[in-house]
Amino acid sequence: MNQFRLYYEPGGAKASGQIQIHSLGLHERMSPQLLRYTTEGSRILLMFFHTEAFFNTGEKGECECGKQFILWSPERTRNYGNAEEAWDHSWMVAEGPALERALAAHALPMNRPVKADAEPVFEHYLSTLLDELTAHRHPDDYVLEHLTDLFLYELARQIRSTERRVPESLLRAEEFMWNNLNRPLDLGRIAAAASLSVSRFTELFREYYGESPMRYLTRKRMTLAAEMLSYHTASCKQIAEAAGYSDQLHFSRRFRQFWGVSPTEYRNSSARGK
């Protein structure tokens, strides 16, 4: 029989402004079995396996996932568990624009087990989210959104610290980009902040961050712009400038390429959700 330390599932998922948390469980202890599960629509499933378990997507066969976490993309069938002995896992099912922004900002790997010291992160944030969901008649959407963002940020940080230590030169360049999102930047200036040649900097950045420096910069700018469109009353021109685009038309084109809608459409959809 299944046993929970903590569990949340509303009678019907409450529509939140930017995020819907449909359910979460902390330390759900399962009897020996394998589960087959498919999420609905655009729902994301985030899981951590506290004990030995296995998963199978049907593509690469069975893989061990004990003491690892997995972020499952929408509309994928998951087969996971342990048929031989009892197992324990924690999880959250959620969806919404705020979750999509956080996933884009932190670039977590999808649909594969990730080795990281994530157990305390899951325990802390799932219990904190549960407190917000259950302690108030109307949970604060802003709190839920930002707790979720911090949750994913902490997971991304654990991946970096567990897998490989990012060189100080790259960290300087990353900080330089963060501090200058509102200014025009080219690859030469960013590489100079790392005290590296452009070619060496680009090679190292791809090795540690999994994408080019300019792609990383664009992703951070687009995420900032989406946050401002959701939470601030600034004009699209002001938001474009804050994201480092002096040409509003160019900004709108890049925003549509990244998010699939114009800045105005994004803002209107955020307002309807609140």
Contact 212, 206 (CB under 8 A): yes
204 compared with 14, residue with greater pLDDT: 204
pLDDT in tens, 209-230: 778 999 889 988 998 898 888 8
Most confidently modeled range among 70-79, 134-143, 169-178: 169-178
Indicate if the pLDDT at residue 252 is higher than 90: yes
pLDDT band at 12 (very low <50, low <70, confident <90, very high): very low
Domain boundary assignment for the chain: 6-163, 168-273
| 57 has a pLDDT exceeding 70 | no
Split at pLDDT 50, 70, 90, the class of 13 is very low
Alpha helices in 136-212 (DSSP H): 141-163, 168-179, 187-193, 198-209
pLDDT band at 175 (very low <50, low <70, confident <90, very high): very high
Which token pair is 242? 């804050």
Cα separation values, 22 from 39, 110, 130, 188, 254, Å = 11, 20, 12, 45, 32
> Which one is the CATH code of 168-273: 1.10.10.10, 1.10.10.60, 3.40.50.300, 3.40.50.150?
1.10.10.60
User: pLDDT (tens digit, 9 = 90+) per residue, 83-128?
Assistant: 888 999 999 999 888 898 888 888 888 888 888 889 999 999 999 9
Token code pair at residue 141:
């959407």
Neighbours of 69 (CB within 10 A): 25
Say whether pTM exceeds 0.75: no
Q: Give φ, ψ of 107 to 5 degrees.
A: 50, 50
Q: Which fold has domain 6-163?
A: Jelly Rolls (2.60.120)
Give the N- to C-terminal CA distance of the chain in Å, as an integer.
39
pLDDT band at residue 16, thresholds of 50, 70 and 90?
Answer: low
